[in-house]
Chain A
């Protein structure tokens, strides 16, 4: 009896812990959402209200009217999408060669590529800046996209997967007269769909949330990305300059930038998790 009671108590404790985890994780997101819908007078009310008394869209209107928010979103989405498509295309081609083809220097080249996993991205920032300045491509989408395409993780994940594809499968295709390109397209790519989804999500998310490079490479407002625009107009920097930060519009902007990411995450959760597990293995 006592044993059973103890078991129940432990279970209860575990449930309480789970609820605490959920509350701590979600409360800031909820608070952002609630604040975004509060009119100016209400947002600073004390004690804090978890339900807006007079919910309003005005903060969203204010953000869209006074800032290039739509433009930043467009830039972020387009840059991340194009970068992802390029990365999947060139990484899967290269990974196929690394995993399944014999050629001089295969191991050496692959080792050099992997060695870059150790080199922090900050090291490349100044030379990249000089390079893009030199060809007059600062402040362009091109500058936001291209540096992502030199990434290593995608090649690493896909090479790992392609190596696991049985040789027999390829031999059968070769006997049937399929060329390398054909094998890549109609055998390797379909087989690798889960890995490709994981690479796509990693690439998209890292480009979407990238901050340092877009901050440096883009200075005109029309070419800003979402993370940079939000940081510069709704971050502490504006508060420091004297006027009190306007939290209503800031939370509306934050919410608009967050909803797409959370929606994508909820739909593609499986691939997110897979992507993370794959980056985790890379060490």
Chain B
């Protein structure tokens, strides 16, 4: 009796065991370990040497790191507003009772299932300075050809364009789900009261969409802050480090120069930024009373 009861008590842990093993070994453990690595000077061969917060201090005096941070923020400035506002506008468009809206949703979302590096390769070809199709079409509009990916001023916008094309469908889906949660009666009622479409959008749709909007903004910020694969393929961080991003710098430091401690410190700075963004989100959600 007693034995049976004890074995029954063990059951939850048996159910948890396989997952917790994987979680601790491959997710939780490494996340903690990363912090300790970031406190060392460690060049893969040889011993790790404890240096305290030296790596973090060095990072903020490292012009290349500052450059990568500024580049990443610039990339976010180029992509986040377009992805959020554009995503919302497309969602509202395909929410209308129009023939072909389902097909439009499918087409807009389709790029999202393509691998990041394939997206890079496709746009490498489109942006080709000499033979690229984009330069041909802007040429028809009378614009001189642009060396998109090898021009310091254009490389980042080019990567941004490819990224917006690739991921806007994701935001569209999230906004669409939010829009469909808004009861139609509300909009109906507003219309009967004589509100214009613009007033309905501004006073009813947008406020009710607030929780969705906050989530979309946050996911977009998080994903764009971690941009890496497209840049790796399209520009390799160039020209003249104009597209070097934070995660790419982490990759270069950790796995090309094998400065593991320094690289880990960069990844922890990414972490701190993301936590900051998430806390901001929590604050916003609390303020709007959607989260208890």
| Least distance between B35 CB and chain A CB atoms (Å) | 8
From the candidates B30, B94, B233, name the one contacting A123 in the complex (CB within 8 A): B30
Let me know if A212 and B26 touch, CB within 8 A: no
Question: Which residues in B have their C-beta under 8 angstroms from that of A15?
Answer: 98, 100
| In the bound complex, CA of A279 to CA of B238 (Å) | 33
Q: Name B residues whose Cβ lies closer than 8 Å to a Cβ of A.
A: 9, 11-13, 15-16, 18-20, 22-31, 33-35, 37, 90, 93-94, 96, 98, 100-101, 103-104, 106-111, 113-118, 120-126, 128, 130-131, 133, 136, 149, 165, 169-170, 173-174, 177, 212, 214-216, 218-219, 222, 226, 228-229, 232-236, 238, 247, 250-251, 254-255, 260, 263-264, 267-268, 270-271, 274-275, 278, 281, 285
Partner-binding segment picked from A51-59, A165-173, A265-273: A265-273
**Interface residues contributed by chain A, number (CB under 8 Å):** 100
Let me know if A237 and B236 touch, CB within 8 A: yes
From the candidates B104, B118, B123, name the one contacting A230 in the complex (CB within 8 A): B118
Question: Which residues in B have their C-beta under 8 angstroms from that of A125?
Answer: 30, 34, 250, 254, 267
A249-283 interface mask toward B, CB cutoff 8 Å, 1 = contact, 0 = none? 01101100110011011100100110011011101
Question: Which residues in A have their C-beta under 8 angstroms from that of B34?
Answer: 123-127
| Least distance between A28 CB and chain B CB atoms (Å) | 5
Let me know if A250 and B125 touch, CB within 8 A: yes
From the candidates B16, B18, B114, B270, name the one contacting A109 in the complex (CB within 8 A): B16
Q: What number of residue pairs across chains A and B have CB atoms under 8 A from each other?
A: 286
Q: Name A residues whose Cβ lies closer than 8 Å to a Cβ of B.
A: 11, 14-15, 17-18, 21-22, 24-26, 28-29, 31-32, 35, 43-44, 46-48, 86, 89-91, 93-94, 96-98, 101-103, 106, 109, 112-113, 116, 118-120, 122-131, 146-152, 155, 180, 184, 205, 208-209, 211-212, 215-216, 226-228, 230-231, 234-237, 239-240, 245, 247, 250-251, 253-254, 257-258, 261-262, 264-266, 269, 272-273, 276-277, 279-281, 283
Q: Which residue of B lies closest to A216 (CB)?
A: B255
